[in-house]
Amino acid sequence: MNYRSALPLSHVRFPRGFLAERARLVREVVIPYQWEALNDRVAGAEPSGCVHNFQVAAGEKPGKFHGLFWQDSDLAKWIEAAAYRLATHPDAALDAELDRLIATLAKAQGADGYLNTYFQLVEPQQRWANLRDCHELYVAGHLIEAGVAHFRATGKRTLLAVVGKLADLIERTFGLGPGQIPGYCGHEEVELALMKLARATGEARYARLAAYFINQRGQEPNYLAEETKRRGDPLPWHMYFDGLGTLQAARPVRELAEPVGHAVRQMYLLAAMADVALDLGDDSLRRTCRRLWDRIVQGHLYLTGGVGSEPYGEKFTEPYDLPPDRAYAETCAAIGVIFFARRMLEDELRGEYADVMERALYNNVLSGMSLDGTKFFYVNPLELIPAVAKRRYECHLVKTQRVGWFGCACCPPNVARLLASLGEYVASQRPDGLALHLYAECDLRFAVAGVGVRLAVRTDYPWTEAVALEVQPESPQEFTLHLRVPGWCRGARLAVNGAAHALAPVDGYAALRRVWRAGDRVELTLPLPVERVRADPRVATVAGCVALQRGPVVYCLEQADNGALLAALSLPRAAELTARHDPALLGGCVVIEGPGLRLPTGPALYQTTPPEPAAQSLRAIPYGLWANRGEGEMRVWIRET
Amino acid sequence: MNYRSALPLSHVRFPRGFLAERARLVREVVIPYQWEALNDRVAGAEPSGCVHNFQVAAGEKPGKFHGLFWQDSDLAKWIEAAAYRLATHPDAALDAELDRLIATLAKAQGADGYLNTYFQLVEPQQRWANLRDCHELYVAGHLIEAGVAHFRATGKRTLLAVVGKLADLIERTFGLGPGQIPGYCGHEEVELALMKLARATGEARYARLAAYFINQRGQEPNYLAEETKRRGDPLPWHMYFDGLGTLQAARPVRELAEPVGHAVRQMYLLAAMADVALDLGDDSLRRTCRRLWDRIVQGHLYLTGGVGSEPYGEKFTEPYDLPPDRAYAETCAAIGVIFFARRMLEDELRGEYADVMERALYNNVLSGMSLDGTKFFYVNPLELIPAVAKRRYECHLVKTQRVGWFGCACCPPNVARLLASLGEYVASQRPDGLALHLYAECDLRFAVAGVGVRLAVRTDYPWTEAVALEVQPESPQEFTLHLRVPGWCRGARLAVNGAAHALAPVDGYAALRRVWRAGDRVELTLPLPVERVRADPRVATVAGCVALQRGPVVYCLEQADNGALLAALSLPRAAELTARHDPALLGGCVVIEGPGLRLPTGPALYQTTPPEPAAQSLRAIPYGLWANRGEGEMRVWIRET
C-alpha cells in the first residue's frame, strides 16, 4: 500500500455504487483505452509514442523518440494503474501484457541503471544537465511508483528490480558527497516515489535519499540557479512572476509561507514532505506541512477541491485569487491535494483532511473524466461560457468538452491510478482498530490483534444519508471503529444494533469502541440537506454568489438544464431548494431544483431602467458530472438575490 | 480642421472649466514634458530615441537607431499636438523649435520622399517588405497628420512639403497598376491621414489613395497572406485566434459583420472609412460604418467608452465579452472611438454619436492621464485589485499606477493631440447654423451667411446642470443652433431670453431657429441625477451589478475612499445616492455618496452560515480621475443587493 495505514487493495472491494462504477470504468474502459492510446492505436487522438519509445530504446524496433521529454511517465502511471487493477481483479492477460512490457523496459535500461527514453534516444550527452526543466527524476519517480505497485500487486520483482537499479543510480549520482550532483528535480515526484520504494523494500536509504531531495531544495547556493547560469539560458516563460519559486526552489521548503508555483509540483512536494516528516520523524517538516495545509485550505482551495488558479504556468497565485472562469484546477493538482490530504491523515486523524480529500475526489477529480471513461479534462473551470473560453487567451488551455487524450497526457493516467487504488483512501488501520474516511458501498477485511474482521458498508452515499455497517469478526473482539463525521454534516446520528448511540466526534471522527461480535450492525445517518455555500468576499470574483452543495458534492448549473446565459440567472435568498434523485440522469444522481430568476436581455447594452427578472426554475447537477451532454455553459457560483 | 464642419482651433477658446484645465495641462505640462521624453531627457522614464533617430538619419549626429520600428510616430503625434497648441496659443519659442525639428526631418527624408528612420537606419533593404508587421504606412500617416496640423496652425508649408513628398512616393508605390504593390498597412492610420492631406491641399488624388487602401484591404488574393507566404514566417503571437482578422484584413472591409482584431486599428480604419464614405460619396462604405457603429455600441463598448476587451493582441473579442478586470480599453482605442464618432457626426447629426464621443472623452481618455499631466495609462481597466493585477498573467499589461512614459508610447502623445484639439469636437458648422456637441465653458467664433457670430458658453458642466449661452452676431441674423440633448438626459429644459421654450430634440439635437440678436441668451438645463446603470446580462461578468453615472461621467469606488476589498461592498436597491461637489478633491469634482453594505470576511474560505453585512457609507469618484491618490483597488461595477 502507498500509505502505511492503508488496507491492501485486495482487502477492499467495491461491489456497487457511485464510486464503484467509476472504479469499474477505470478497470474496464480507461485502462484498456489508455493502453491503446499509449500504443498509438486510438484514431483521432494525439499520438503518445510511449510504448514505441521504450521498444526503440530496447532495440526491439527501429525509429525515433516521439513526444515530450517526460513522455515515459505517462506509461509509468498506466503501469501503476494496471497493477492496481491486477491487485483487485486478477487478470492473466493483463498480467502477461505487463510482463512483456516490463521485459522491454528492462532491456531498455542502461547498464548503470539509467532509464529515460528521451535522454537515451535524443540527448544522451545531456543526462542530468537540466534538472530545472527536463523532468528526469520526475520520470524516474513515476517508474519507481509503477515498480512498487507492480510488486505489491503481483509479488513479482521484475519491475521492482529495474526501478531499484534506477534508484541506486540516483542515490549514487545525487547528494552532497564528493563528485555528486547537489541538485534536485524541477518537478517533484521522485521524493514520494522513493518513500514508497523504501517501504516496499525496507531499505531506509531510499527514504534518506527522498529527505535529501526535500532538504536540499532551495538551499544556497541555489543549485537550479547555478545550473541556469551555467547553461546561460533564460528562465522559461512558465516561471513568469515566481522565478524558481515556480518549482518551489527559491528558498528552502521549511521557509515556504504560502503554497507557491506550479500547483501539481507543490502538492507532490507536500505529499512527499508529509511522508518524510512521518517516516523519519522530522518535526520541523511536519510543522511546515501543517502550516501549508492551513494556508491552502484558508486561501487557495477551489470549492471543488482543486488548486491552481493561474493557467499561465499552472500555478498558485495570491490567497483568495480564485476566479471561477480562469480556474486552472488541473485534474493532477486535485489528485495531488488528495495525496497530501491522505498523508496528513497518517499524521493525525482529523476530519478536515478527509473532508478536503473527499471534496477533491467527488468534484475536481471526477470532473476530469467523462461518464463513459473515454474523455478527459486537464483544466476544470468552475464557470464556462464556451464562446468566451474559445476566444480569450487566458482560457486557451480550457477545453470546452473533454478530449480523448492530450499531447501532455499527465491527467488521464493519473485519474486512472487514483480511481484504481480507491481502496487505499477509504479506511486506515489504526493501532486500536479501523478508521473509515470515505463512505461508499464496500467490503473491507482487516485484522485486530490477530483476529480477522470483515466490515460490510452498505450505502448509496453521497446520494442518500444512511450508511449501514455490518461487522463480522472471526471471534468477538474489542476494538474501535473511528467513523468520520464530515465537517459539512450537522445532526449526524448513530445507532448500534438498532439502539441510538451518542455520537461525540473529536476532530471529525467518532470513536466507537466495544467488543464487536459477528453481525453487529451500525447505522450512521449523515443528513444531506441542500446547503448554500458562500466564499469569503476576499474571493472577489464570486462575492455575492452562492454555490450549492449537498454532502461532499458541489453542484453546478448547466445550459442543458437551464438554457444559455447562466449569468442572467439568480437564486432568491428565500428560495426553497429540493434534492431529487433522478435515476435516468447522468447515470443516476441527485439533482437540486428550486425557483430562480432570470434577468431579461436588451434592449440596450447599458440601461438605467431597472430590469424585471422573470421566474425560472433552476436545476443544478453534480459538478463532477458536468459536460456529459454536449458543449454548453456551466456555472458553479450563482448570484444570490 | 480635421473635420470638414469643425471650427478652426483658433476660433474655439476654453477660458476655464474642467476640460479647459485638462487642455491647459496638455499645453503647459504634457507637451513640454513629452518633448523632454522624446529627447531622452526624462530621468527614470524609458528612453524614446525619437528625436535622436531623426538626427542620426539626417546626418546631424552619429549613432544608431533606438526603439521600436514605429518609433517615429511618437514624434509625429507630438508635432501634431504641438501644432494644435500653436494654433490656439501662439508661442515663438515652440514655433522655432518646431522649425528646427522640421528642418531635421526634411534633411532626413530620402530623395525619393521616403522617411522612416527605422528602415533608413536599420533595414534599408526591407522597405515595404513587411507591411503586415512593420507599420511603415502607419508611421507615414502620423507624419502626414503632423504636416497637415503644422500647416493649418502656422500657414508654413515646410512639413507639409515633406509629407507631401512622402505621400507622393506612397501614391507611386501602392496600387493596382503595373509595378505597384497591391498592398496596404497592417496598422491602419495612413488612410485617415491621407484624407486630411487631401482636404488641406485640395488634392483629390490623396483621397483616392486612401480609398484604394480601404477598398483593397482583405481582397483576394490576400496581399498580407501572400506576403506572409513569401517571407515564410509564421503569423505572430498577437494574431492569436483572428489571424489576419487581427488587422481587419481577413476579408474586404464591407464584409465585416462585427468589429474585429486590434481595437485601435479597427477604430482608425472605421474613422477613415467614414471619411472616405462622406468625401467620396461611397454609400456602401457608409452603410458599413453605420452597421459597425451599431455593433460596437450594442456589444463591444465598455461603459467608459473604451473598446478592446482582450489584452492578448489588444483586441475586440465576442459581443458582450466585456470583463471589467481584463478590460484592455487602451487609451488610443478610446481616442479611436472619438475619431470615429466625430466623423459619424459629419454624416448625420445624431446624438448617439456625440453621446459615445463624450463618454469616451470624460471617462476612458481622461483616465489615460494623471491629474498633473505627467503620468499615463495605456490600459484602462474598470476594476483593479493591485495584488491580483500584478500577479495574473492576463493582467500583466495593466499598470496599477500611471507611468511616465512607455517603450511603446503611443498613448501619451495621442491624449495630448486629442486634448490639444478639443475645439474640433465641441461644435460643427452646419449649413443652417451651428451644432453644439459638447458642453464646456468656451468662446466660439463662426459665421453664418457672412455674418460673424460669437457664442459664449458658460457652464460648470459636467458638474452642474446649467449651460448658459450668449449669442453675439455682428448683426441680427437668422440661423439655427442645434443643441445636443444627451441621450442619458431626461427632463432637459430650455429658456430663451428668460422665457421657457419648448425643447423637442430630434435624434438627440434640439434645433433652435430664430433671428439672433446681440446679447440673446439661451439657458439649457440638463438635469444630472445620479443614475444606476445596468449592463445587458449577456455581459456575464457584471450581471447583478450597477455602475453609477451622472451625466456623461461614469463613477468608480476607490480604496482611498472605501477601504480595501471593494468586492465586499454592495449597494442596496433602495439606497438613496446623493451628488456633492467637493472643491478640494481631485482638483474639484462631484462625488456620489450613499449608504452601502460590506460583507464580513472570514472565518473560513467557504461557509454555509449566511453572513451579516455591515453598513458602510460609500463614496464614488469620477472614473476619469481614478488612481491619482496612490495605488489601491478600484471598481466601476458595484454589486446591487
DSSP states along A95-121: HHHHHHHHHHHHHHS-TTS---HHHHH
Contact (CB<8Å) B533/A606: yes
User: What would the mean pLDDT of A258-273 be, rounded to a whole number?
Assistant: 98
Does any CB of chain A come closer than 8 Å to the CB of residue B570?
Answer: yes
Does any CB of chain A come closer than 8 Å to the CB of residue B574?
Answer: no
**Cβ neighbours of B600 in A, within 8 Å:** 537
Q: Which residue from B419, B245, B411 is spatially nearest to B329, judged by alpha carbons?
A: B411
Q: Which of A328-342, A513-527, A625-639, B38-52 comes out lowest in average pLDDT? A: B38-52
User: What would the mean pLDDT of A199-208 be, rounded to a whole number?
Assistant: 97
- Average pLDDT of chain A, as a whole number: 96
Kindly indicate the confidence band of residue A562, based on its pLDDT and cuts at 50, 70 and 90: very high
User: What would the mean pLDDT of A90-119 be, rounded to a whole number?
Assistant: 97
Q: Are residues B42 and B152 in the same domain?
A: yes
Q: Are residues B64 and B136 in the same domain?
A: yes
User: What would the mean pLDDT of B604-615 be, rounded to a whole number?
Assistant: 96
Q: Residue B278: which H helix or E strand, with range?
A: helix B263-279
Distance CA B455, CA B461 (A): 17
What pLDDT, on a 0 to 100 scale, did the predictor assign at position A405? 67
Per-residue pLDDT at B408 exceeds 70: no
Distance CA A354, CA A356 (A): 5
Domain boundary pick from B408, B426, B444: B426
Q: Are residues A539 and A471 in the same domain?
A: no
Maximal C-alpha separation, chain A? 78
Q: Are residues A307 and A397 in the same domain?
A: yes
**Cβ neighbours of B543 in A, within 8 Å:** 567-568, 599, 639
What pLDDT, on a 0 to 100 scale, did the predictor assign at position B181? 98
Kindly indicate the confidence band of residue A406, based on its pLDDT and cuts at 50, 70 and 90: low
Structural domains of chain B, count = 3
Per-residue pLDDT at B73 exceeds 70: yes
Distance CA B311, CA B297 (A): 20
Kindly indicate the confidence band of residue A64, based on its pLDDT and cuts at 50, 70 and 90: very high
What pLDDT, on a 0 to 100 scale, did the predictor assign at position B4? 85
Whole-number percent of chain A with pLDDT over 90: 93
Per-residue pLDDT at A272 exceeds 80: yes
- Average pLDDT of chain B, as a whole number: 96
Q: Provide the β-strand partners of residue B467.
A: B459, B524
Does residue B2 fall inside a structural domain?
A: no
Q: Provide the β-strand partners of residue A634.
A: A384, A558
Does residue B114 fall inside a structural domain?
A: yes
Based on C-alpha coordinates, what's the Rg of chain A?
25
Residue B161 grid cell: 512639403
Q: Are residues A374 and A504 in the same domain?
A: no
Q: Are A394 and B312 in contact (CB under 8 A)?
A: yes
Does residue A598 fall inside a structural domain?
A: yes
A450: containing domain: 431-525
CATH number at residue A398: 1.50.10.10
Distance CA B447, CA B344 (A): 23
Q: Are B548 and B638 in contact (CB under 8 A)?
A: yes
Q: Are residues B475 and B328 in the same domain?
A: no
Per-residue pLDDT at B630 exceeds 80: yes
User: What would the mean pLDDT of B120-132 be, rounded to a whole number?
Assistant: 96
Per-residue pLDDT at A300 exceeds 60: yes
Per-residue pLDDT at A1 exceeds 60: no
User: How many CA atoms are closer than 13 Å to the CA of A560, on its beta-carbon side?
Assistant: 13
How many Å lie between the alpha carbon of A318 and the closest alpha carbon of chain B?
7
What pLDDT, on a 0 to 100 scale, did the predictor assign at position A4? 85
How many Å lie between the alpha carbon of A450 and the closest alpha carbon of chain B?
43
Kindly indicate the confidence band of residue B577, based on its pLDDT and cuts at 50, 70 and 90: very high
Whole-number percent of chain B with pLDDT over 70: 99
Residue A191 grid cell: 521524493
Per-residue pLDDT at B410 exceeds 90: no
Does any CB of chain B come closer than 8 Å to the CB of residue A527?
Answer: no
- Residue at grid coordinates 424585471: A612
CB contact residues (below 8 A), chain B span 607-636, against chain A: 607-608, 610-611
Kindly indicate the confidence band of residue A413, based on its pLDDT and cuts at 50, 70 and 90: confident
Domain boundary pick from B525, B551, B568: B525
DSSP alpha helix (H) spans, A397-505: 411-420, 423-426
Contacts of residue B56, Cβ cutoff 8 Å, sequence gap at least 6? B62, B63, B64, B65, B117, B121
What pLDDT, on a 0 to 100 scale, did the predictor assign at position B405? 67
Distance CA A302, CA A300 (A): 7
DSSP alpha helix (H) spans, A113-262: 117-121, 136-154, 158-173, 190-201, 204-216, 223-231
Q: Are B431 and B421 in contact (CB under 8 A)?
A: no
Kindly indicate the confidence band of residue B406, based on its pLDDT and cuts at 50, 70 and 90: low
Contacts of residue A221, Cβ cutoff 8 Å, sequence gap at least 6? none
HEC assignment per residue over B310-372:
ECCCCECCCCCCCCCCCCCCCHHHHHHHHHHHHHHHHHCCCHHHHHHHHHHHHHHHHHCECCC
Q: Are residues A404 and A284 in the same domain?
A: yes
Does any CB of chain A come closer than 8 Å to the CB of residue B385?
Answer: yes
Task: Please name the residue of chain B whose CA is at the shortest distance from the CA of residue A564.
Answer: B538
Q: Are A32 and A374 in contact (CB under 8 A)?
A: no
How many Å lie between the alpha carbon of B132 and the closest alpha carbon of chain A?
22
What pLDDT, on a 0 to 100 scale, did the predictor assign at position B379? 96
Residue A605 grid cell: 447594452
Distance CA B77, CA B99 (A): 16
Beta strands B383-384 and B634-635, pairing class: antiparallel
Choosing from A136, A314, A441, A633, the catalytic residue is A314
How many Å lie between the alpha carbon of B394 and the closest alpha carbon of chain A?
6
pTM of the predicted model as reported, rounded to 2 decimal places = 0.95
Per-residue pLDDT at B6 exceeds 60: yes
Whether B410 is a known active-site residue: answer yes
Whole-number percent of chain B with pLDDT over 90: 93
User: What would the mean pLDDT of B392-412 be, rounded to a whole number?
Assistant: 84
Does residue A2 fall inside a structural domain?
A: no
What pLDDT, on a 0 to 100 scale, did the predictor assign at position A404? 80
Q: Which residue from A86, A73, A83 is spatially nearest to A38, judged by alpha carbons?
A: A73
Task: List phi, psi (to 5°) of A366.
Answer: -65, -30
What pLDDT, on a 0 to 100 scale, did the predictor assign at position A622? 98
CB contact residues (below 8 A), chain A span 278-317, against chain B: 297-299, 301, 303, 310-313, 317
User: What would the mean pLDDT of A457-461 be, rounded to a whole number?
Assistant: 97
Q: Are residues B514 and B544 in the same domain?
A: no
Kindly indicate the confidence band of residue A298, based on its pLDDT and cuts at 50, 70 and 90: very high
Nearest CB to B535; choose among A488, A535, A605 = A605
pLDDT digits (tens, 9 = 90+) for B435-446: 999 999 999 999
Per-residue pLDDT at A81 exceeds 60: yes
What pLDDT, on a 0 to 100 scale, did the predictor assign at position A286? 97
CB contact residues (below 8 A), chain B span 126-165, against chain A: none
Does any CB of chain B come closer than 8 Å to the CB of residue A574?
Answer: no
User: What would the mean pLDDT of A350-379 be, rounded to a whole number?
Assistant: 96
Kindly indicate the confidence band of residue A408, based on its pLDDT and cuts at 50, 70 and 90: low
Q: Which residue from A93, A67, A68 is spatially nearest to A82, judged by alpha carbons?
A: A93
Does residue A389 fall inside a structural domain?
A: yes
Residue B564 grid cell: 480595501
Does any CB of chain B come closer than 8 Å to the CB of residue A515?
Answer: no
Does any CB of chain A come closer than 8 Å to the CB of residue B392?
Answer: yes
CATH number at residue A476: 2.60.420
Does residue B4 fall inside a structural domain?
A: no
Per-residue pLDDT at A563 exceeds 70: yes
**Cβ neighbours of A392 in B, within 8 Å:** 310, 312, 317, 321, 326, 394
User: What would the mean pLDDT of A605-625 be, rounded to a whole number?
Assistant: 97
Task: Please name the residue of chain A whose CA is at the shortest distance from the CA of residue B489.
Answer: A608
Residue B383 region by backbone torsions, left for phi larger than 0, else alpha for psi between -120 and 50, else beta: beta
User: What would the mean pLDDT of A219-240 be, rounded to a whole number?
Assistant: 92
Does residue B205 fall inside a structural domain?
A: yes
Per-residue pLDDT at B389 exceeds 80: yes
**Cβ neighbours of B488 in A, within 8 Å:** 608
Does the bond joining A572 to the residue before it have cis omega, within 30 degrees of 0? no
Q: Are residues A169 and A260 in the same domain?
A: yes
Contact (CB<8Å) B534/A607: yes
Q: Which of A44-48, A637-641, B148-152, B551-555 comes out lowest in average pLDDT? A: A44-48
Among A262, A605, A637, the strongest candidate for a mutation testing the B interface, having the largest count of B CBs within 10 A, is A605
Q: Are residues B152 and B298 in the same domain?
A: yes
**Cβ neighbours of B241 in A, within 8 Å:** 391, 393
Distance CA A82, CA A99 (A): 12
User: What would the mean pLDDT of A179-199 be, rounded to a whole number?
Assistant: 98
Per-residue pLDDT at B97 exceeds 90: yes
**Cβ neighbours of B538 in A, within 8 Å:** 565, 567-568, 601
Task: Please name the residue of chain A whose CA is at the shortest distance from the CA of residue B317.
Answer: A391
Whole-number percent of chain A with pLDDT over 70: 99
**Cβ neighbours of B297 in A, within 8 Å:** 605
Choosing from B136, B171, B310, B314, the catalytic residue is B314
Q: What SS3 class is residue B445?
A: strand
Per-residue pLDDT at B407 exceeds 70: no
User: What would the mean pLDDT of B471-491 be, rounded to a whole number?
Assistant: 97
Kindly indicate the confidence band of residue A133, based on its pLDDT and cuts at 50, 70 and 90: very high
Q: Are residues B537 and B403 in the same domain?
A: no
Does residue A3 fall inside a structural domain?
A: no
What pLDDT, on a 0 to 100 scale, did the predictor assign at position A287? 98
Task: Please name the residue of chain B whose CA is at the shortest distance from the CA of residue A238.
Answer: B393
Give CA angle at A578 (A574, A582), nearest 5°: 155
Per-residue pLDDT at B1 exceeds 80: no
Q: Are residues A280 and A392 in the same domain?
A: yes
pLDDT digits (tens, 9 = 90+) for A302-315: 999 999 999 999 99
- Look up residue B559 and give its DSSP letter: H
Contact (CB<8Å) B321/A392: yes
Distance CA A632, CA A565 (A): 10
Among A388, A393, A577, the strongest candidate for a mutation testing the B interface, having the largest count of B CBs within 10 A, is A393
Domain boundary pick from A426, A445, A473: A426
